[in-house]
C-alpha cells in the first residue's frame, strides 16, 4: 500500500489542468478551461476543468472528479495505479507498505494483463541491450536503421530471442501466470505446448496515451517468406488496434502545442520522424484509419497532415481515411514524398530545417491531392473526369461545417474548371440520397410502435425534492464557509400575546443550513445527498479552513461524480460564452444570504405541501376522522403561509 504521506504529496503536486492537458486539448474559458469530452464523441465542447477548485466535469457523460479520478476513468486505472502514474509524472518517490495477500489477490484480470505486458516490454528491451544475441541481431538492425541509443531507450525497443519458449519460460519463472501470458497473446498455447508468439523479432511496444503497454508489434529479420513481415499482438481486453495510435504517448504534448498531427503508416516512420525533430507524429500501425483513432487526435488538435510515400496504389487505398477525418469535422492536409521515399527514409537523410520546409511547402489540401491523384488515370476521357469530380464532391459532403464546405466547392470548381452551381446541385443530390438511405435503414431496423399516452403520462414529472436537496448540497459545497447576516425570528410572550421579533444574526452558512434542517428534523430523502450532507458538516466542524481538494480526498469514489456535477453546474454557463453575446449571468454570491434562505424555506414549504396532500388523502380514505385531520390541515396551511410571507411570494404547486 502507498503511504498516506506519499498520497498527500501527490495530491499537493498534481494540477488537474496539467494532468488532463496530457489527454485533452484545453482552451481558456474565463477562469476555467474547456475542451471536447474524452469519453463521448462530440463536436461542441462540454468538458470543463476548474483550476481554482481542482476538479473537472464532463457534461456529456456525467463523469467528474479530481486529477486522480480522471486518470482512473480515462485509463481504467485502479486507485493505486493512478497514484503511481501521477507520482511518476511529478517525480515523487513512492513509499509503500507491504501488500497483504488479500490486496495482491485484488488485482483484477485486466490489471494483470497490464502487469504482464509491462514485464514483457522490460524483458525484450533488456534482451536487446544486454545479451549477445540481442546486440548482434536486434541492436544491429536498429543501428542500421539509423536509430540512436537515446531513441532506442525512448521508445523502449526490444528483441525477442529466436527460441520457441525463451520469453514464456522467463515469465513463468518470475511468477507470471500462463493464463495472462496467453490472453495478451505473448504466449501461444496449443496441444499442451507453449511457445513465444514473437520469437526472433525486433519488438515495438504499443502504448496508450498515458504510457501503459497495450500490446506489441514485432518485425521478422529473416527472409522467411512463409512468415509475416510484421506481426501485432492479437485483440485482447487491453489491446484494440482500431483504437490505438502508435507513438501518441510520446507525441501528445507536441501535437497539442504545434496544433497539428502528422499521420504516418508504420512504427519506424514515427520513430525516424521523431528522432529527426518532427515529434508531433503518430501511426495507424498498418491498419486502415478508424473513427476511434481520429477521435484520439481530435482531443489534441483539429489539424491532421497525412504523410504518404510515392506509392499511388497505397494512396488510393487511404482515401477512405481522409473522408473519415473530414466527417469528424477536422482539417486535413496531405503531403507526399518523392518516388522511392517514405517518411522513414526521407527523414533519415534530410536535415531538420529542410524536412520542416518540405512538409510546409508540399502539404496541400485534400481537394488538390485527390484531384491530382485521380486525374492521372482519366486522360481525356470526360466520363472518367466526371467520376473524379463526383468522388471529390462526395468527400466535400462529409464536411459538417457549411462555410468550410462552400469554400471547398469553390476550390473544386476552380481546379476542375466546372461551374459552382453544378457542384452545389450535386452536393444537394448526395445529401438527399444519404437522407433517404438513412430513413430507409431506420424503418428497416426499427419497428415503429405507436403508443398513445395520456397527457398525465406524457407530462414530464419533476422531482422537486431531489432538486431542492441538491441545491442544499450546492450551497454547502460552494458557500458553506461564507459568513452572512441572516434574518431570524424570536418568539416572546407578553400579556398572553405571542410577539415575533426579527433580528439579524451573523452565522456561517453551514451552521445556518444545519440549524434550519434540525429545526424541522429534516433528513435528505436521497441517500447520496444524506451521506454527502453528513460528511460536509463533519468536515466543516472539524476543520478551521474549508478546502475543496482536502474534502474530495476523503470522499467515496462513487460520490465524486455527484459532487463535481453540483459544483461545476454552477459555472456551466461559461461553456457558452454568454458575455460575448451581451448576456450576463448574475452570480449567486451577490446574494448568498437570500439564496440560502429561499432554498431552505422552499424545501420546508414543499415538505409541508406534501404533508398537507397526505392529510387530504387520509380524509378521503377515512371520512370519520375528517374533523381532526382538517384541524391539522389548517395548522400546516398557516405554517405554509408563514413561509410564503417570509419568501415574499406565494408558493406555487411544484408537480
Cell of 633: 390541515
For 532-547, the pLDDT digits (tens) are 888 887 787 677 777 7
Of residues 514 and 214, which shows the higher confidence score?
214
What integer pLDDT is reported at residue 587 of this predicted model?
A: 46
Q: What angle do CA 472, 474, 479 make, to 5 degrees?
A: 100
Q: Which residues of 362-496 form beta strands (DSSP E)? A: 364-365, 483-494
Q: Are strands 230-232 and 213-220 parallel, antiparallel or unpaired?
A: antiparallel
Residue 197 predicted with pLDDT over 80: yes
Element spanning 353, H or E: helix 352-362
H helix intervals, 578-625: 592-621
Cell digits of residue 332? 486535413
Calculate the alpha carbon distances from 289 to 10, 215, 264 in Å. 37, 18, 10
Length of the chain: 655
Q: How confident is the model at residue 643 (pLDDT cuts 50, 70, 90)?
A: low
Averaged pLDDT, 30-57: 85
Q: Please state, as a whole number, how many other Cβ atoms lie within 10 Å of the Cβ of residue 219.
A: 18
Q: Work out the pLDDT band at 578, boundaries 50, 70, 90.
A: very low
Task: Please report which helix (H) or strand (E) contains residue 202, including its range.
Answer: strand 201-207
Q: What are phi and psi of 334, to 5 degrees?
A: -130, 140
H/E stretch holding 201 = strand 201-207
pLDDT digits (tens, 9 = 90+) for 629-638: 787 777 677 6
Place of cell 464523441: 41
Are residues 575 and 46 in contact, defined by beta-carbon separation less than 8 angstroms? yes
Alpha helix locations (H) across 131-236?
132-133, 140-144, 149-154, 166-173, 178-183
DSSP string for residues in 254-269:
HHHHHT-EEEESSHHH
**pLDDT value, residue 278:** 96
Domains (range + CATH), the chain? 4-103 (3.90.580.10), 109-239 (3.90.980.10), 248-437 (3.40.1360.10), 462-554+586-655 (no CATH)
Distance in angstroms (rounded) separating the CA atoms of residues 106 and 78? 10
What is the rounded CA–CA span in Å between residue 179 and residue 57? 38
DSSP string of 22-84?
TTS--EEETTEEEE--SSS--SS--EEEETTTTEEEETTT--EE-HHHHHHHHH---HHHHHH
Full-prediction pTM beyond 0.75? no
pLDDT score, position 640: 67
CB 576 within 8 A of CB 44: no
Averaged over 200-216, what is the pLDDT?
A: 94
- Strand intervals (E) in 339-496: 364-365, 483-494
Nearest to 212 by CA among 135, 281, 119: 119
Identify the band that residue 437 occupies on the pLDDT scale cut at 50, 70 and 90. Answer: low
CA distance 300 to 255: 6
Given a cut of 50, whether residue 449 has pLDDT beyond it is no
pLDDT for residue 106 is more than 70: no
User: What DSSP element (H or E) covers 219?
Assistant: strand 213-220
CA 204/CA 214 separation, integer angstroms: 11
**Is the sign of the CA dihedral 162, 164, 169, 172 positive or negative?**
positive
Q: How far is CA 394 from CA 264, 428, 430, 482, 494, in A?
A: 24, 11, 7, 59, 87
Instruction: Give CA angle at 371 (368, 372), nearest 5°.
Output: 85
Q: How far is CA 540 from the centre of its chain?
A: 32
How many angstroms separate the CA atoms of 531 and 606, rounded? 22
How many other CB atoms are there within 10 angstroms of residue 528's CB atom?
17
**Percent over 70 (pLDDT), the chain:** 82
Q: Looking at residue 496, what is its pLDDT?
A: 57
Report the C-alpha gap between 426 and 421 in whole angstroms.
9
Minimal CA–CA distance to 232: which of 221, 208, 216?
A: 216
The pLDDT score that the predictor gives to residue 184 is 96
Sheet holding 27-29, edge to edge: 27-29, 32-35, 47-50, 55-58, 64-65
Alpha-carbon distances of 523 from 291, 472, 610, rounded to whole Å: 48, 12, 15
At 137 the pLDDT is 96
Q: What is the pLDDT of residue 173?
A: 94
Looking only at the bridges linking them, the beta strands covering 201-207 and 213-220 are: antiparallel
* 52-76 per-position pLDDT tens digit: 788 888 877 777 888 888 888 888 7
Tens-place pLDDT, residues 226-273: 888 899 999 998 999 999 999 999 999 899 889 999 999 899 999 999
Residue partners of 395: CB distance under 8 A and separation at least 6: 319, 322, 323, 326, 366, 367, 370
Give me the residue label for grid cell 486539448.
25
What mean pLDDT value characterizes the chain?
81
Name the H helices within 446-578: 455-458, 464-479, 509-519, 527-542, 548-553, 557-569
DSSP annotation string for 524-559: -SSHHHHHHHHHHHHHHHH-SS--HHHHHHTS-HHH
Percent of the chain with pLDDT over 90: 30
- Copy the grid coordinates of residue 288: 486502415
Q: Kindly state the average pLDDT of the residues 518-538.
A: 77
Least confident of 41-55, 296-310, 337-351, 382-396: 41-55
State whether residue 405 is helix, strand or coil.
Answer: helix
How confident is the model over 471-481, as a mean pLDDT? 85
SS3 at position 362: helix
296 and 210 Cβ atoms separated by less than 8 Å: no
- At 183 the pLDDT is 95
Helix 527-542 to helix 509-519 angle (10° resolution) is 130
For residues 408 and 393, give the distance between their C-alpha atoms in angstroms, rounded to a whole number.
9
**204 vs 499: CA distance, rounded Å:** 84
The Cα–Cα gap between 377 and 183 comes to 47
Q: Which residues 6+ apart lie within 8 Å of 470 measured at CB?
A: 526, 529, 566
Coil, strand or helix at 449? coil
Instruction: Report residue 335 as a C-alpha cell.
Output: 503531403
Distances (CA, A) of 404 to 363, 408, 484, 623: 18, 6, 53, 72
What is the pLDDT averaged over residues 28-48? 85
Amino acid at each position: 500500500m502507498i503511504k498516506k504521506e506519499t498520497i498527500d504529496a501527490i495530491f499537493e503536486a498534481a494540477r488537474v489542468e496539467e494532468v488532463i492537458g496530457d489527454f485533452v486539448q484545453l482552451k481558456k474559458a474565463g477562469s476555467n478551461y474547456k475542451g471536447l469530452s474524452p469519453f463521448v464523441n462530440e463536436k461542441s465542447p462540454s468538458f470543463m476543468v476548474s483550476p481554482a477548485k481542482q476538479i473537472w466535469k464532463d457534461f456529456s457523460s456525467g463523469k467528474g472528479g479530481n486529477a486522480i479520478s480522471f486518470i482512473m476513468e480515462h485509463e481504467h486505472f485502479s486507485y493505486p495505479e493512478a497514484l503511481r502514474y501521477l507520482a511518476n509524472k511529478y517525480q515523487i518517490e513512492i513509499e509503500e507498505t507491504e501488500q497483504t495477500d488479500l490486496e495482491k489477490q485484488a488485482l483484477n484480470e485486466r490489471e494483470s494483463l497490464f502487469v504482464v505486458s509491462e514485464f514483457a516490454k522490460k524483458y525484450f528491451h533488456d534482451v536487446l541491450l544486454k545479451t549477445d544475441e540481442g546486440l548482434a541481431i536486434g541492436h544491429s538492425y536498429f543501428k542500421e536503421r539509423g536509430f540512436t541509443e537515446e531513441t532506442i531507450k525512448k521508445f523502449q525497443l526490444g528483441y525477442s530471442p529466436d527460441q520457441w519458449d525463451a520469453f514464456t519460460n522467463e515469465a513463468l519463472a518470475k511468477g507470471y501466470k500462463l493464463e495472462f501470458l496467453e490472453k495478451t497473446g505473448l504466449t501461444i498455447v496449443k496441444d499442451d505446448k507453449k511457445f513465444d508468439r514473437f520469437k526472433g523479432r525486433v519488438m515495438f511496444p504499443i502504448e496508450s496515451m498515458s504510457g501503459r503497454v497495450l500490446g506489441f508489434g514485432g518485425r521478422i529479420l529473416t527472409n522467411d517468406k512463409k512468415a509475416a513481415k510484421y506481426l501485432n499482438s492479437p485483440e485482447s481486453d487491453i489491446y484494440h488496434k482500431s483504437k490505438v495510435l502508435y507513438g501518441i504517448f510520446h507525441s501528445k504534448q507536441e501535437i497539442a502545442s504545434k496544433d497539428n498531427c502528422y499521420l504516418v503508416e508504420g512504427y519506424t516512420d514515427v520513430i525516424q520522424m521523431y528522432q529527426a525533430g518532427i515529434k508531433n507524429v503518430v501511426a495507424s500501425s498498418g491498419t486502415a484509419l478508424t473513427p476511434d483513432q481520429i477521435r484520439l487526435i481530435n482531443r489534441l488538435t483539429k489539424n491532421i497532415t497525412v504523410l504518404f510515400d510515392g506509392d499511388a496504389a497505397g494512396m488510393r487505398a487511404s482515401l477512405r481515411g481522409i473522408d473519415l477525418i473530414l466527417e469528424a469535422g477536422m482539417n486535413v492536409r496531405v503531403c507526399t514524398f518523392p518516388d522511392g521515399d517514405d517518411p522513414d527514409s526521407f527523414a533519415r537523410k534530410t536535415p531538420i530545417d529542410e524536412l520542416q520546409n518540405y512538409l510546409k511547402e508540399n502539404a496541400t489540401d485534400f481537394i488538390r491531392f485527390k484531384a491530382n491523384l485521380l486525374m492521372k488515370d482519366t486522360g481525356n476521357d470526360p466520363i472518367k473526369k466526371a467520376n473524379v469530380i463526383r468522388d471529390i464532391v462526395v468527400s466535400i459532403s462529409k464536411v459538417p461545417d457549411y462555410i468550410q464546405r462552400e469554400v471547398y466547392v469553390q476550390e473544386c470548381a476552380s481546379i476542375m474548371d466546372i461551374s459552382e452551381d453544378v457542384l452545389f446541385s450535386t452536393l444537394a443530390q448526395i445529401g438527399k440520397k444519404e437522407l433517404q438511405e438513412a430513413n430507409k435503414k431506420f424503418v428497416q431496423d426499427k419497428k415503429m410502435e405507436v403508443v398513445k399516452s395520456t397527457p398525465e403520462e406524457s407530462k414530464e414529472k419533476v422531482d422537486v425534492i431531489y432538486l431542492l436537496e441538491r441545491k442544499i448540497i450546492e450551497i454547502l459545497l460552494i458557500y458553506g464557509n461564507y459568513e452572512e447576516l441572516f434574518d431570524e425570528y424570536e418568539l416572546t410572550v407578553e400579556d398572553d400575546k405571542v410577539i415575533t421579533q426579527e433580528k439579524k444574526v451573523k452565522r456561517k452558512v453551514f451552521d445556518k443550513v444545519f440549524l434550519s434542517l434540525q429545526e424541522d428534523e429534516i433528513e435528505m430523502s436521497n441517500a447520496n445527498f444524506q451521506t454527502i450532507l453528513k460528511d460536509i458538516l463533519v468536515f466543516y466542524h472539524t476543520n478551521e479552513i474549508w478546502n475543496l481538494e482536502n474534502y474530495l480526498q476523503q470522499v467515496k469514489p462513487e460520490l465524486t461524480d455527484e459532487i463535481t456535477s453540483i459544483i461545476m453546474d454552477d459555472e456551466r454557463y461559461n461553456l457558452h460564452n454568454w458575455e460575448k453575446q451581451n448576456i450576463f449571468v448574475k452570480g449567486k454570491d451577490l446574494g448568498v444570504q437570500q439564496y440560502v434562505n429561499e432554498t431552505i424555506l422552499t424545501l420546508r414549504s414543499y415538505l409541508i405541501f406534501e404533508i398537507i396532500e397526505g392529510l387530504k388523502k387520509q380524509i378521503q380514505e377515512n371520512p370519520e376522522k375528517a374533523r381532526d385531520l382538517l384541524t391539522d390541515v389548517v395548522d400546516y396551511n398557516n405554517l405554509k403561509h408563514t413561509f410564503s410571507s417570509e419568501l415574499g411570494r406565494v408558493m406555487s404547486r411544484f408537480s
